[in-house]
Structure 1
Amino acid sequence: MKYSEVNFICKGGEAWHRDVLMHDLADIGFDTFESNDKGFAAYIASEQLDLPALESLLIHQPVGFEVTFTVREILPQNWNAVWESNFEPVVVADQCYVRATFHPSKPAYPYEIIIDPKMAFGTGHHQTTSLVMCYMLEESFDGKEVLDMGCGTGILAILAAKMGASRIWAIDNDPVCIDSVLENRTLNHTPQIVAKCGTADLISNERFDVILANINRNILLDQLGRYAQALPEGGVLYMSGFYEGDDLEALKVAGADVALTYDSHRTLGGWAAACFRKKG
């Protein structure tokens, strides 16, 4: 799959204006963001890039916040070079060390995850990933069955496996992500991860003790009913990819409609993650 890099130059406005713009870009298909001195770069599958929709979005930015952009198509090998030149190890909650194959090991940490991201999202750098990982590190996964929905690189599935989960499904609708999960599964010696390419339709007849879904608000709202059906009474859903405020409130309302009770949430850099539990 070919990807496009869209470089956004932002002038004026506040830092949160960029965050809101990234959120809106995620709603129209962008799946990875990298900040820089002038604004940020955003990445999207070339076939999903809708320039009229992008231009319409930018027209409606707040007064005083000016945004221009340029587009270039990138090849997979160029993406890999970008990641290797910028990917630094990450430590999450002082317990989990995330590194690439070209970084040294640090066995002093309770959990070490090796990620070669390729073109898939999820290295622990983004706030949404680290927020879900922080929740996970407070959870017991011993013997549990877990779903990582919208798995990207499979980083959340790998952490669940290293924390003792007995079976993990990692689902994404992008074949590139599935290839990444399979490679990272081997690197981390986590054979209990089953990688599947597809949508939430795949879980129609399945049950999971814990569901991890780091996607975006609209997809989460659309799939909440599926998650609720797949959870037993007392099952836990951890979600991220949205903002505190209207996004979270919408998820609370939609969750209540399908017997998912809001438990808690946390924020980082404007992004939010939340825990919901299945009612009896």
Structure 2
Amino acid sequence: MYHQYSLLNDPGLNEMLIAFLGEADFDSFQELDSGLHAFALAEQHEQSVAALEDLRERFPFTYTWEVLENKNWNEEWERQFQPIRVGERLLIRADFHPADPAVEHELVITPKMAFGTGHHATTYMMCELIFEEDLAGKSVLDYGSGTGVLAILAKRLGAGPVDAVDIEGPAAENTAENAQANGTELRHVVLGELHDVPPGPPYDLILANINRNVILATGEALYERLRPGGRVLFSGILAQDEELLLSRLAAIGFHHHSTRRREDWRAFVFSRS
């Protein structure tokens, strides 16, 4: 059973509120002209209220909540999923969206509530950056894979062995299913954390479209899983956290190459010295 939390706020705050609530295990959202609806499992109501009260100390909004009738919320959420188009090079769509023969690459994704917060802006930037990488034969890790879009795209563009990992069971399952549906073979799809990824040679490229807290907590471990000269693409970072992330990753030893900006979100290219 789910609870619906109805937030009354300036719609300009939606992106930031969704980002923080996503980190607090709210798993889907509906943006409104007057604010947004946030959905979370009924069993975590105390945790959800605590997260909302914490955010109310930082942002101006009010909220109410109600118990929702049992229904297939994956289906409800899928109806809100919108395609992502990256110029003429890529279309990411669900199977209920029309194809577009004008694009170079098309990924058909069944989301199953695994598409991350801010997915249009952050996924768009990550895909742009992946297209700029020389992937031929490179080993790749998709860290926090969600639907598996980045892992699948990397493999489609000629990468060598590609692994994916996510701490959420539905996300790991979704990654494996979407890879198969798109005719893509991933080497490992791991349910767990970074240390659960099978050991092996360091990766040539790491893709991390995740969130600030996870990147900061695992930066050292990611550095160790990257070969010298290897590159890492980070996204899922809000503009307000840009300087914090840059300074922390520089202290670890990462070399910053570039920053990409879209709406309130940031994406970065780093390498290991």
What TM-score, normalized by structure 2, do the two folds share? Answer: 0.88
The one-letter amino acid of 1:34's match is: Q
Kindly indicate whether residue 6 of structure 2 is the aligned counterpart of residue 7 of structure 1: yes
- What do the CA deviations read for 1:18-49 (whole angstroms, capped 9, x no partner)? 33333332342335443222212334455555
1:252 aligned onto 2:243: no
Q: Contact 1:266/1:274 (CA < 8 Å) preserved in 2?
A: yes
The one-letter amino acid paired with 1:239 is: F
Correspondence 1:97 to 2:91: yes
* CA separation of 1:92 and 1:74: change in aligned 2, threshold 3 A: farther
Q: Does 1:38 align with 2:34?
A: yes
Amino acid aligned to 2:51: L
**Unpaired runs of 5+ in structure 1?**
none
- Aligned partners of 1:116, 1:215: CA distance in 2, in Å? 19
What letter corresponds to residue 235 of structure 1 in structure 2?
Answer: G
- Letter in structure 2 aligned against 1:215: I
Q: Secondary structure at the match of 2:189?
A: strand
TM (normalized to structure 1)?
0.86
Q: For 2:95, give the aligned amino acid.
A: T
Q: How does 1:105-124 map to 2 (within 5 A)?
A: 105-122=99-116
Equivalent of 1:209 in 191, 204, 209: 204
The answer as to 2:63 corresponding to 1:68 is yes
Structure-2 separation of matches of 1:104 and 1:124: 23
Alignment of 1:1-280 (within 5 A): 4-10=3-9, 13=10, 15=12, 17-44=13-40, 50-62=47-59, 65-72=60-67, 77-83=72-78, 85-122=79-116, 125-203=119-197, 205-206=199-200, 207-245=202-240, 247-279=241-273
User: Alignment RMSD, CA only?
Assistant: 2.5
Greater CA drift, 219-228 or 53-62: 53-62
Q: Structure 1 76/178 Cα, relative in aligned 2: closer, same or farther at 3 Å?
A: farther
Q: How has the CA–CA distance of structure 1 residues 59 and 90 changed in structure 2, closer, same or farther, with 3 Å as cutoff?
A: closer
For 1:211-241, what per-residue CA distance to the aligned partner results, in whole angstroms no more than 9, with x for missing partners? 1111110111001111100111111111111
Amino acid at match of 1:96: L
Compared CA separation, residues 220 and 78, structure 1 to 2 (3 A): same
The answer as to whether partners of 2:148 and 2:178 remain within 8 angstroms in 1 is yes
1-side partners of 2:43 and 2:258: how far apart? Answer: 37
Q: Secondary structure at the match of 1:232?
A: strand
Question: Alignment partner of 2:195: what SS?
Answer: helix
CA distance in 1 between counterparts of 2:111 and 2:61 reads: 32
| Cα deviation 1:35-85 (Å, max 9, x = unaligned) | 2222123344555550342243243134xx3321325457673222331x2
Number of corresponding residues: 271
* SS state at 2:229 partner: coil
